[in-house]
Amino acid sequence: MHYTILPHRALLRLNGEDTLSFLQGLVTNDVSRLKEGEACYASMLSPQGKFLHDFFIINWHGNIWIDCDASRIDDLQKRLTLYRLRSKVDIALVQDMAVAIAWGEGTLAPAPDMHIFSDPRHAALGYRVIGQQAALGAVDATASRENYESMRISLGIPDGAQDMVFDKSLLLEFGLEALHGVDFKKGCYVGQEVTARTKYRGQVKKALYQVSALSGALPTAGTEIRAGDVVVGEMRSSSGGKGLALLRMAELDEAIKSGIKLVAGDAVLTTQLPQWMPAVAATDA
């Protein structure tokens, strides 16, 4: 089994009698049914339905833990505090805990100071682990963060902080419903109306694709992808010769029908829809 601590992740601890009801009105997934030991994947949106944060919510040891991107944890904490108002919820940044990931063959034995749960997005992502830094550090690392990123990208799984654009991206373009990050039956939350309208009116115009280079090297995130003079989309994260790209489906369809190559920087690209992604208009090229 591959195992490594993820230094780019950090934890918030929430407790208080209103914690679950407070989160229920803010996040995209149904947290009201989270029992002890359970976890879900969710996001926080702007009132306009644009991406702000994605994270894991874990019910463990009488607290609710939020496993989120470390570089933006201060912003998340501020936003949660702003919405708290009179709700009986304490929100604290946890300094002495960490997040790890384990995947592949074998098992990982739990310790008293760690909690292991299946990654709710996709079974092949393995297990996530939260716990005291000393407990997680006592497990021998058999992989690196780069190994994890390569595995994630090989599955076509987006990472919010790397692949989505703050206050711009729409979750459904990145397949978060199929990754069990959006619940359309849970009721209202911030940004819910726009997200539901986008889904039910069929307004999703872009989709996340896996890409690799037929020639040249994959460029950095944000690089435009073109079919001739037409901008089809842009690169997102990449690792190990494979990457993710957000592509406009209509323009991609036209490029495929016309036999026009997709180019990003010096690279000529081939595209493939992730296996977990529901069928969309464009076929693979």
Report d(CA 53, CA 281) in Å as an integer: 28
| pLDDT exceeds cutoff 50 at 212 | yes
Q: What is the mean pLDDT of the chain?
A: 95
What domains lie within the chain, and their CATH numbers? 2-163 (3.30.1360.120), 205-285 (2.40.30.110)
Structure confidence by residue, pLDDT tens digits, 71-96: 999 999 999 999 999 999 999 999 99
Q: Is the pLDDT of residue 65 over 90?
A: yes
H or E element that contains 120: none
Question: Which structure tokens are listed for 36?
Answer: 């002890």
Q: How far apart are CA 149 and CA 128, in angstroms?
A: 14
Q: What pTM was estimated for this model as a whole? A: 0.95
Specify the residue for token string 């306009």: 48
Look up tokens 């074998």; give the residue.
106
Residues 6+ apart with CB under 8 A from 53: 43, 44, 68, 69, 72, 75, 76, 79, 160
Return d(Cα 121, Cα 128) in angstroms, integer: 11
At 91-113, the pLDDT tens digits run 999 999 999 999 999 888 888 89
pLDDT at 70 over 70: yes
Q: Which H or E run includes 191?
A: none
- Describe the chain by its helix, strand, coil percentages, rounded to 5: 25, 35, 40
Three-state DSSP at 133 gives helix
**Overall average pLDDT of the 270-276 stretch:** 95
Task: Measure the CA–CA gap between 20 and 24, rounded to whole angstroms.
Answer: 6
